[in-house]
Amino acid sequence: MCTFRASTQLDRQAQPIDKSDLPNVRVFDNERMTHYDWPVRDPRQITIDRGDVGRRLDLVLQRHLREVTSASRTRIQQWIEDGLVSVNDTPARRPSRRTSSGDSISILVPPQAERAVMQAEAMPLDVLYEDEHLLAVNKAAGMVVHPTHRHPNGTLMNALLWHAHGWPDGARPSLVGRLDRFTSGVLIVAKSRAVHALLQRTLASPRSEKRYLAVVYGHVNLARGTIDAGLSRSRREKRTVVSVMPSAARSQTVFERLRRVAAPRVGLALLGCRLMTGRTHQIRAHLADRGWPIVGDAKYGRPLWAAIENDALSAVLRNFPRQALHAWRLMFEHPITGVRVTCEARPPEDFQQLLNVANLR
């Protein structure tokens, strides 16, 4: 229902490191069971300047480590949590820590391993919209977005690189935004770095709308509402949690109850959700905190299907293989033409079957 085309800002291939005569540095975090063992010269030293005062530590490091291709914000946050960063000679474990004037930061930057070249793979790709600047695709549930150590191929990026054959020289697909592996729906891709930067600003604007469908357990007695709760990363688990700490990131989700069924003792509803901010696992964490966990969510949900008396419905809920969350609509102003673009992705077959059996369609 849309058409887009993209450009992915791929990491540049790092230069091999000369490991001769370098001392070994070992860092081991007992709580996170993270082990680093590599040769390194000296920690990077950073002194806070006027432009850094009051900013988050991870953003300050991202600014000062621009030439380090491996220093994405996610990796920097991991380095902080794993004890590789010190502020004024004291280990800093919170990426959200605010910096002060005169702070001295020391960081042990892991060496940049050579990256395998990302391969194009001929795979089906559901293109919703495409022009010479960008494209929108409907990501299938279960598809990983970027290659990882555990998923080196078969990802959305591999498919996009194949799709990019024939694009002008210098154009490469670059995802703007993200979806969890088991969340389906609309994703935007840019074809150049310039368009990627413009799209980031556009999609962060209040004039852009990101809407999701979610099937949740619970008695949703409100027709609509707003969940405005700060989110932070759990120190014990790899999950996002609602937090009242001052360091928690402001997060807001607007919801609307589209359908509901009694499902005695449990309750079941179809919600439409609009992201006002884009935090990791935001919808999943917000709904779970309100007592409305998403069906099939192994990280934030609970197996409430066992309490549902309708055997057929209980079985479908029990066997649903993923979180019942679908990014169904994205609306934004085209960063080049200024035209309002609306991209919609129909719910996949498993989601639609769940709606049918639960009488939520």
Q: How far is CA 356 from CA 5, 141, 271, 326, 330, in A?
A: 33, 19, 15, 16, 24
The residues annotated as belonging to the active site are 180
**What amino acid occupies position 122?**
A
Q: Which residues pair with 294 in a beta bridge?
A: 216
- Alpha carbon 140 to its chain's center: 15
Give the integer Cα–Cα distance in Å for 70 and 77: 12
Nearest residue to 96 via CA among 43, 54, 66, 46: 54
Helix, strand, coil shares of the chain, percent, nearest 5, are 20, 30, 50
Q: Which residues pair with 253 in a beta bridge?
A: 227, 275
Q: Which residues pair with 139 in a beta bridge?
A: 185
Nearest residue to 159 via CA among 148, 176, 173: 173
DSSP letter assigned to residue 228? E
Q: Give, rounded to a whole angstrom, the gap between the first and last alpha carbons of the chain.
A: 20
Contact 117, 76 (CB under 8 A): no
